[in-house]
A and B are shown apart, each in its own frame.
Chain A
């Protein structure tokens, strides 16, 4: 009996061991196949530029909070060595931080706690890409999944690196700089697919979003912004909410013959993902390159929010926000996924802070627009009609050659451009870094591209009402009103983030790194940095248990190019008119390329072996 008992016991033990092995195998398999969604909920890390698929840019960390943020100090710094505008969000996976610099797009892997350099990768980016990009040579960051780091180069390549070693695994060319295409966006990885879109609306490119297999770099699908339904991946599962978005081949029919082929609508902004609904959401850029009289029609699907199935790319719904755009109001801005009480019911919505100055709250399943409220001064559009899903334009402000039109607000960069907002589930407020600019259209400046002299209509941008050019605001999407706002001298061109410690973080073009109380906007901490900011702040917990806040510093981008010598300050209508509003920026800052990492004083500073050096 005893023997059989012990045998039984051994059997029992063996089967336990077997179960343990099976569990281990299961966990190893799981570990091999990262669950990005779960990783994004671990606040020790910041595994994608938007923090999570909802694009909230909210972290649950609260070691740094509203009561102690004033004690923050620099923990360590790192130079990415390229004085173009630094727009990228660093990401942190485990104990490693990955940073992509502006052109020539070098990638650095750093120990996230000590700042020690683990590896560096230098792509061979075709220098002629520099002449193609519209607005400085920026990059908005990289992405991670399953042991690989993914990023895009200005000359249209998506590159996968071994996240441990920096070894190149594959590189896929997605577009051609010889045709005016560049890539500036950060990729998003969804279910093993790397999602990437192109830039270059002003160059007559045809916009697209492409999915690449994360293991091979092979193209799985490509969805064009304009063209026949089969190219836009509109099929039987497409149901637009609004009548003007319904019909066959609207991507062809809403253009004069063939114009969709060079119609713009690039995809250079942000993508969100709802795993439950299995839908991705993103917006498309403005139409181009024609004089607006030469492209009568809605010009679909430019300035449109798309919901698509990430497996196949097929479109599920689409809302075109600025049909027949006249003002360069791209709608590539981020879409924040959250639930809001609307008319007594909880709705699964996306919040889209529009470039056109309207805060859109849209049903994620149907595309129905629940509300569209102006969140800054807007004169070009009177209101947004929720019945038709179309803006009511102020026709007195239609740009016409030979007519000078004044006080068009917002100016071409919109109330908010690419710089992403953050959403706090604690305060239920959306934090919005944005600009506050108007413009005059005037005719008569001579312009020249060899082969074509012309008489341009120029845009002259200037500070909006109140005399300030930027703002950091908190918006309540349920009450549909601004709760507080901080006026800034210059446009606020950084992204932002917010934490459970009730701090909201942003930077200014005049070199201030700022932390404010997420509840009332009270300034808690500011730091005068080497150069103006256009980056994206992130936060994470180091292996030493300390909370760190990181942001790339280095002025540039569309508004800041004047300060990193990209553009001659004497040319008022340089940078597509933005220079006029930025003429004094060089008095505040030059270019830079520094990663700044902040922590509370108890955090150690310097490298892991600093004492021996």
Chain B
């Protein structure tokens, strides 16, 4: 990253966007977090942003924000950008649209191991080497479920923020399965699905299927777009676009290997 120069460019963009807000779709996105987004526009959220921009006849500009607690909300509140492409429906820090897909946490294992994991109560989870993402101030559902089951010593944590000097920091978790450092990753579906499809080592993705018994912990989430609190006008415009572009969005999600569940199954808070 060369944020000093970039800051200047960004400032210019923001100024431009400010003066021509009507024809610009100002998107907040992570610069290095595939399959969601990156600076080259290679993520499915980049593709969906382009789709929405085309539909609305607006040019897409980006405010690059490394994902941290509240970083997108802060960028939107500061007026650096207006739209987050993918956030959980019901996130109380933003106004969220109707959900346009729902996914699930998944097990990612090596195909040659034929583990076929589907349950968090599978006794094998006590002896296999498991990897999960850690958030820091909050706890991701797989980590908490394993803790409740007393599955501790064979679990390795990977910071979701990771080492930002390398690309796509959250993908270190999948690389650990490839490299046999762990036997199974329990990870959010879109991330698992994408990297499993592209792995040099054949990997298998299976949804976490018995999550209900861990309520109120949730393993399925409906994903929506997020806009500034109180920006109902923008939300309404996007809701219309999402209906119009439903088929095109589904195609993009499919091409990125996003494991989908029916929105009904995912209580959306």
Contact = CB atoms under 8 A, between A and B. Distances in A.
Scoring B33, B86, B93, B137 by chain A CB atoms within 10 A of each residue's CB, the highest score goes to: B137
A479 interface: no
Interface residues of A, number: 54
A284 B159 CA distance: 21
A515 interface: no
Contacts of B147: 290-294
Nearest to A443: B216
Contacts of A162: none
Interface string A386-403: 000000000000000110
Interface stretch (B67-75, B111-119, B197-205): B67-75
Interface residues of B, number: 65
Given A180-B161, A402-B215, A452-B188, A290 B143 contact: yes
A127 B153 CA distance: 38
Nearest to B229: A570
A467 interface: no
B3 A126 contact: yes
B171 to A, nearest CB: 9
Contact of A568 (B73, B89, B188): B73
Contacts of B257: none
A203 B161 CA distance: 8
Nearest to A292: B147
B59 interface: no
Contacts of B40: none
A446 B4 contact: no
A294 B143 contact: yes
Contacts of A481: none
Contacts of B152: 256, 293-296
B218 A455 contact: yes
Interface stretch (B50-58, B120-128, B162-170): B162-170
Given A293-B147, A293-B148, A451 B78 contact: no
Contacts of A177: 164
A452 B140 contact: yes
Contacts of A448: 87-88, 91
B135 interface: yes
A2 to B, nearest CB: 81
Given A402-B216, A566-B74, A262 B157 contact: yes
Contact of A451 (B65, B170, B229): B170
B160 to A, nearest CB: 5
Contacts of B36: 450-451
A290 B137 CA distance: 8
A447 B161 contact: no
B92 A446 contact: yes
B136 interface: yes
A545 interface: no
A179 interface: yes
A132 interface: yes
A451 B133 contact: yes
Contacts of A453: 88, 188, 221, 223
A179 B88 CA distance: 26
A544 interface: no
Nearest to A133: B68
Nearest to A130: B3
Interface in A244-303: 256-259, 262, 288-296
B41 interface: no
Contacts of A574: 70, 73, 93
28 contacts: A179-B163, A204-B134, A257-B153, A262-B134, A289-B157, A290-B134, A291-B144, A294-B143, A294-B146, A402-B215, A402-B216, A402-B217, A444-B269, A445-B92, A446-B221, A448-B87, A449-B69, A450-B36, A450-B170, A451-B36, A451-B170, A451-B188, A452-B133, A453-B221, A565-B77, A566-B74, A568-B229, A571-B73
Given A256-B152, A401-B148, 4 more contacts: A177-B164, A444-B216, A452-B133, A452-B170
Interface of A: 124, 126-128, 131-132, 134, 176-180, 202-204, 256-259, 262, 288-296, 401-402, 443-457, 565-568, 570-571, 574, 576
Please name the 9 residue pairs, one residue from A and one from B, whose CB atoms are nearest each other, closest first. Answer: A293-B147, A291-B139, A294-B147, A568-B77, A453-B221, A451-B170, A202-B136, A289-B136, A178-B165
